[in-house]
Amino acid sequence: MRSDATFIGVEVDDAAAADAAVAAKLTEVCPVDIFGQAASGTLELHEQNLDECVLCRLCMDAAPGRVRVLKLYDGGAEL
Ligand code: SF4
């Protein structure tokens, strides 16, 4: 799954997004509430918060290789 705002895009691989344990971890670590969980436990991306990303990499540490933070203000460069 992927969601783009003005400055930041976030992409999470579909298997990770469907995994309730991964979704819970991402929801817990992001300081600006970009991730959440649907009632079924699957991951949700809060599009309205994407541009608040502080580039802390905590999501990438929580799910190595499964989350990409894209700097749309820098040609889509990966964090
Ligand atoms: S880099 Fe930090 S602020 Fe940005 S989405 Fe990941 S955990 Fe949230």
For the chain, give every domain's residue range: 2-78
pLDDT (0 to 100) of residue 35: 98
Spatial separation of the C-alpha atoms in residues 77 and 41, rounded to whole Å: 30
Residue from 29, 38, 52, 6 nearest 67 by CA: 29
The DSSP letter of residue 20 is: H
pLDDT (0 to 100) of residue 48: 98
Mutate which of 3, 4, 57, 58 for ligand 1? The one with the most ligand atoms within 8 Å of its CB, which is 58
CATH number at 2-78: 3.30.70.20
pTM, two decimal places: 0.96
From first to last of the 79 residues of the chain, give the pLDDT tens digit.
999 999 999 999 999 999 999 999 999 999 999 999 999 999 999 999 999 999 999 999 999 999 999 999 999 999 9
Helix runs in 1-79, H state only? 14-17, 20-29, 58-62
Residue from 70, 55, 60 nearest 5 by CA: 70
